Amino acid sequence: MNHSARAFWLRSPGHGEIRDVALAGPAEGEVLVRTLYSGVSRGTETLVFRGGVPESQHAVMRAPFQEGDFPGPVKYGYLNVGVVEEGPRELVGRTVFCLYPHQSRYAVPVSAVTVVPERVPAERAVLAGTVETAVNAVWDAAPLIGDRIAVVGGGMVGCSVAALLARFPGVRLQLVDADPARAKTAEALGVDFAAPGDALGDCDLVVHASATEQGLTRSLELLAAEGTVVELSWYGDRRVALPLGEAFHSRRLTVRSSQVGTVSPAARAGRGYAERMALALDLLADPALDALITGESAFEELPELMPRLAAGEIPALCHRINYTGSGLT
């Protein structure tokens, strides 16, 4: 049976459009998913939207079900929640998460979807990809009970990391951001907030997620001797300067990268991508994480919405895209 669908494409940097799609299938071993919600991760997706992926990273930055190539035309995205319409009997009617772009229907292998637990609403499940990144970051960071920790950068990833670190007993934790509006988000997550100039120093661990040179420099300044910065920001085609003279060596500081493309080597043996995603969805049972969803628009609005998100006109963490009232479901 053929199915029709609609998908959002980046036609060229800064210009998006919705295209009609003809679907065949699903084939054996696949499911057909009808999208309920997708999410725009403002950091990575707006960088892609403005054409900021350097040529050397075109292959590394491909999303699992991306079509086309950077800088465009390209269909890009990775936060999608829908209902299985066709496929194995045990999955039909189930709500699932998939690392799929913004498209109203799609067919993917059964192994590409993760069932959303019943206690997690579909509206919140769009955060699964970002919480998965946070899980990997916390595995990489390996915090200890009683650590003094700062998360610098109160965007979608930084807030997710802070929400997970807040569960560790005995830690001193601050979310640090230049935008005072992030204080409300921090409060909803149960995390202390500080402006960069007011943040507490002598940190054993700083997780940096602001994607700014100033934020990374401030992260180094907040460390105690022999402390570690875990760098989560991805700068695309921008170069970053750091003060690696001064006291960097005498204080024996460390800067470590963390990236969700591989499972952290600190995870227990046998933990793979499926287990990491299932854990992320399980953690989304916490309603406090609703604070990371800061807006919602209909699917048809994406071509007009993305330039505004990229320009910062809409202050967003995760902006949710709703397919349920558009005549596409």
pTM more than 0.75: yes
pLDDT (mean) for 116-145: 96
Rounded-to-integer distance, Cα 151 and Cα 230, Å: 9
The domain locations on the chain are 2-127+284-322, 134-257
Q: DSSP string covering 247-302, please?
A: TTTTTT-EEEE--TTS--TTSPTT--HHHHHHHHHHHTT-GGGGGGEEEEEEGGGH
pLDDT (0 to 100) of residue 329: 47
Query: Who's near 249: CB < 8 A, 6+ residues apart?
Result: none
Rg (CA), the chain: 20
pLDDT (mean) for 261-289: 92
> Is the domain 134-257 a CATH 3.40.50.720 member?
yes
Rounded-to-integer distance, Cα 8 and Cα 18, Å: 4
pLDDT (0 to 100) of residue 245: 87
pLDDT of 246 higher than 90: no
pLDDT (0 to 100) of residue 42: 79
SS3 67: strand
pLDDT (mean) for 100-128: 97
Query: Who's near 17: CB < 8 A, 6+ residues apart?
Result: 8, 9, 11, 303
pLDDT of 27 higher than 80: yes
SS3 7: strand
Q: What percent of the chain has pLDDT over 90?
A: 82
Note the CATH number of domain 2-127+284-322.
3.90.180.10
Rounded-to-integer distance, Cα 235 and Cα 242, Å: 14
Taking the alpha carbons of 271, 275, 281, 282 in that order, is the dihedral positive or negative?
negative
Mean pLDDT of the chain: 94
Rounded-to-integer distance, Cα 66 and Cα 23, Å: 16
pLDDT of 171 higher than 80: yes
Rounded-to-integer distance, Cα 143 and Cα 316, Å: 28
Query: Who's near 317: CB < 8 A, 6+ residues apart?
Result: 42, 155, 156, 159, 185, 292, 293, 294
pLDDT band at 157; cut points 50, 70, 90: very high
